[in-house]
Amino acid sequence: MTHEIVAAADGSALGNPGPAGWAWYIDADTWAAGGWEHGTNNMGELKAVLDLFEATAHVPERPLKVLCDSQYVVNSLTKWMPGWKKKGWKKSDGKPVLNVELMKELDAALEGRTYTFEWVKGHSGHPLNEAADSLANAAAQAFSKGQAPKTGPGFGKTKNLTAPHASSGESTATAKLEKPVTDGVELDADLQLAAVRQLEHQLASPSTYGSRSLLSGLLSEDLTWVTPAGRVLDRTTVLEHRERAFALTGQGTPVEATLLGEGAALLVSRVETARGAVLRSSVWHVNKAGHWKLRYRQETAASSATSPQT
């Protein structure tokens, strides 16, 4: 029997627009959050759903039930999107669809998936919705202070991926949210690697590397970055020239994920780019505050990486 994944997705924007956050939540060990320096509540709501589908893309056989307190999101993804696509991503009045880039990404992410959306009333005590709301708001608050938000462990190995329904577990689900989460440092090996994979995934998103404050929150102070051309960059250079540094970015195909010891992990992935295949090696480590940071990255042309040595 294939178990259904039940998750709540929510967004938050201080001032709307203003510092914005997004989050999805399954249980205390399975959630993710992020945001932007400037955005809208609807952007947060959509991004939360998008990240949820991307985080669960490796288990497409599992039906996904998404709980949203935004009728805009539910209607957009279940009613309006087919018509918008036929009209070239324009509304019935001929005006461009708002948040069209997120909509297009969602359209691709939903392709081939089995899913349902359910509207829930916000701030009504629903345990999963309240958890997602709190995490999204915390992310927005972090951006308002110039800080990077807690990104969460992501979707990995958990004891209960089916999550409680609204009719049960209200008190326990809310209590779980208060459990300290240190981005994987206190978790077992599988969950540590899942947390790092989630951060690597987030790092490849334009909404992350396009924001100096969010990107800086993921990079170690001692970062060493080796480009395909062999140039060695430090953290300051990567931040100042982040668009160029991430020119070959993309969600790669995992090749290897290994813990190098306590609080250190190596991820190797293959990324197909317009310039050819690239092998990306990333070393993440846990800093003194208990957060995973990118410590080392090297991108090498796959042909060079696999050619015989002379």
* H/E run at residue 41: helix 41-55
Give the closest residue to 127 by CA, choosing from 164, 162, 161, 170.
170
Q: Is 118 annotated in some ligand binding site?
A: no
Q: Which two tokens stand for residue 277?
A: 């295949």
Q: In Å, what is the CA distance from 106 to each residue of 20, 86, 119, 250, 271?
A: 19, 16, 18, 16, 21
* First-residue to last-residue Cα distance in the chain: 53
Of 69, 105, 183, 299, which one is the catalytic site residue? 69
Q: Is 69 annotated in some ligand binding site?
A: yes
Q: Is 45 annotated in some ligand binding site?
A: yes
Examine the residue annotation and report whether 69 is marked as an active-site residue of this protein: yes
Examine the residue annotation and report whether 133 is marked as an active-site residue of this protein: yes
Give the closest residue to 242 by CA, choosing from 265, 219, 275.
219
Q: Is 190 annotated in some ligand binding site?
A: no
Cα 53 to Cα 182: distance, rounded to the nearest angstrom: 23
Alpha carbon 50 to chain centroid, angstroms: 8
Of 88, 123, 230, 256, which one is the catalytic site residue? 123
Of 45, 51, 54, 130, which one is the catalytic site residue? 45
Examine the residue annotation and report whether 45 is marked as an active-site residue of this protein: yes
DSSP per residue over 197-254, as a string? HHHHHHHTSHHHHT-HHHHHTTEEEEEEEE-TT--EEEHHHHHHTHHHHTTT---PEE
204 contacts: CB under 8 Å, gap ≥ 6: 246, 249, 250, 251, 252
Q: In Å, what is the CA distance from 182 to each residue of 69, 117, 166, 188, 288?
A: 28, 30, 27, 12, 11
Of 29, 54, 130, 133, which one is the catalytic site residue? 133
Examine the residue annotation and report whether 11 is marked as an active-site residue of this protein: yes
Cα 121 to Cα 113: distance, rounded to the nearest angstrom: 25
Count CB neighbours of 181 within 10 A: 21
Give residue for tokens 């696509």.
85
Question: Residue positions in the annotated binding site?
Answer: 10, 45, 69, 133
Residues that are catalytic: 10-11, 45, 69, 123, 133
Question: Residue positions in the annotated binding site for Mg(2+)?
Answer: 10, 45, 69, 133
